[in-house]
Amino acid sequence: MDIKKIFDKQNIFLLLLILMVFVGKVIPYQDSYNQIFNLEAFIDWGIAGIFLLYGLKLNLKEVVKDVSNWKLHLLVQTGTFVLFPLLVLVFYPFFRDTIYFQSWLSVYFLACLPSTVSSSVVMVSIAKGNVTSAIFNASISGLIGILLTPLLMGFFLQAHHSEGNQAEIIQQLLLKVLLPIILGILLNPIFKNIIQKYSKIIAEFDRLIILLIVYESFSKAFIENVFASVPSLVFVVIAVSVVILFFVVYAILQWISRKLGFSREDAITTTFCGSKKSLVHGSLFVMILGIPEEQKVLFLLPVMIYHSFQLFYVSWLASKISKTY
């Protein structure tokens, strides 16, 4: 069955993520290693490469074709970039000016991320939802996120950055995100067939860069003994919080879909696409939003936990829904 193949592949990736954390502890990447291989520079180029490939893969015809289903698209994007952040912002007064503020901000960072691309479409397809609308929302969410995620995070990060740092962050966004995507879209007609032919290899490149980001971030965290300052209870609270966040968003989107009279297919697409968060964008934005080195792991944790949970749970849910159709 296709679901088993997809699940197994994602399962292997999750195990590799855990392995990178372990390797970061046992064999942390030292600055002296840069003389042999500059990992940080490779990741920088890899980030730009991912967004270039994103532009090359973006099918604008598919995106434009489904514009007419605007209620569904508006609800999905509102769920992704408004509902998610608002649910976390409610707790801001309780964590402001406390030692747990950064932990709250890491969950808020997760809430500001765009939806996933490939897994959203795959899961909607398995559950027999509206695949065309899933493709539209998966594509447009990534583009909106490039602008909105830094903007939403900027309200809380700018207090920690000088004007020079702000300018550097904008430069990073332009060079590593916007320009590669624009270049990819412009080159799409020329390289479209090649990209489709080698799509599986390209997907593996995405995963490689994510794994390296996780390894580098956790290496620095272990070297600087970051975890000593974070109580175990904080990790448990973060894990429980992101799982609850998923179910709350899923339930709200499901309720609104019913109130708007969505078809079964459209309701599946709304709940699946609107409740997902992208590990790819999370890993990349951790590197380019000017988040301090010692806090990168804390920001990656909610994203990794949420990503793992959504893959396991939504894979099972999609399979269950498909059997009831």
**Is residue 119 within 8 Å of residue 3, measured between CB atoms?**
no
Cβ count within 10 A of residue 312: 14
pLDDT at residue 258, as a whole number: 94
State the Cα–Cα distance between residues 250 and 136, nearest whole angstrom: 19
Binned at pLDDT 50, 70 and 90, residue 125 comes out as: confident
Reference 317, options 263, 278, 275, 257; nearest CA is 275
What mean pLDDT comes out for the span 176-203? 83
Residue 203 has pLDDT above 80, yes or no: no
Residue 299 structure tokens: 């920001």
Single pTM value for the model: 0.79
Binned at pLDDT 50, 70 and 90, residue 188 comes out as: confident
Binned at pLDDT 50, 70 and 90, residue 231 comes out as: confident
What mean pLDDT comes out for the span 115-134? 80
Binned at pLDDT 50, 70 and 90, residue 162 comes out as: very low
Residue 6 has pLDDT above 70, yes or no: no
**Is residue 288 within 8 Å of residue 149, measured between CB atoms?**
no
Binned at pLDDT 50, 70 and 90, residue 164 comes out as: very low
CATH fold label, 2-9+38-317:
Na+/H+ antiporter like fold (1.20.1530)
Binned at pLDDT 50, 70 and 90, residue 246 comes out as: very high
Question: Phi then psi for 263, rounded to 5 degrees?
Answer: -70, 170
Give per-residue pLDDT as tens, 32-71.
887 888 888 888 888 888 878 878 877 677 667 667 788 9
State the Cα–Cα distance between residues 255 and 259, nearest whole angstrom: 6
**Is residue 76 within 8 Å of residue 52, measured between CB atoms?**
no
What mean pLDDT comes out for the span 130-157? 85
Average pLDDT for the chain: 83
pLDDT at residue 163, as a whole number: 47
What mean pLDDT comes out for the span 195-210? 81
Show the CA angle centred on residue 234, arms to residues 233 and 239, nearest 5°.
Answer: 100
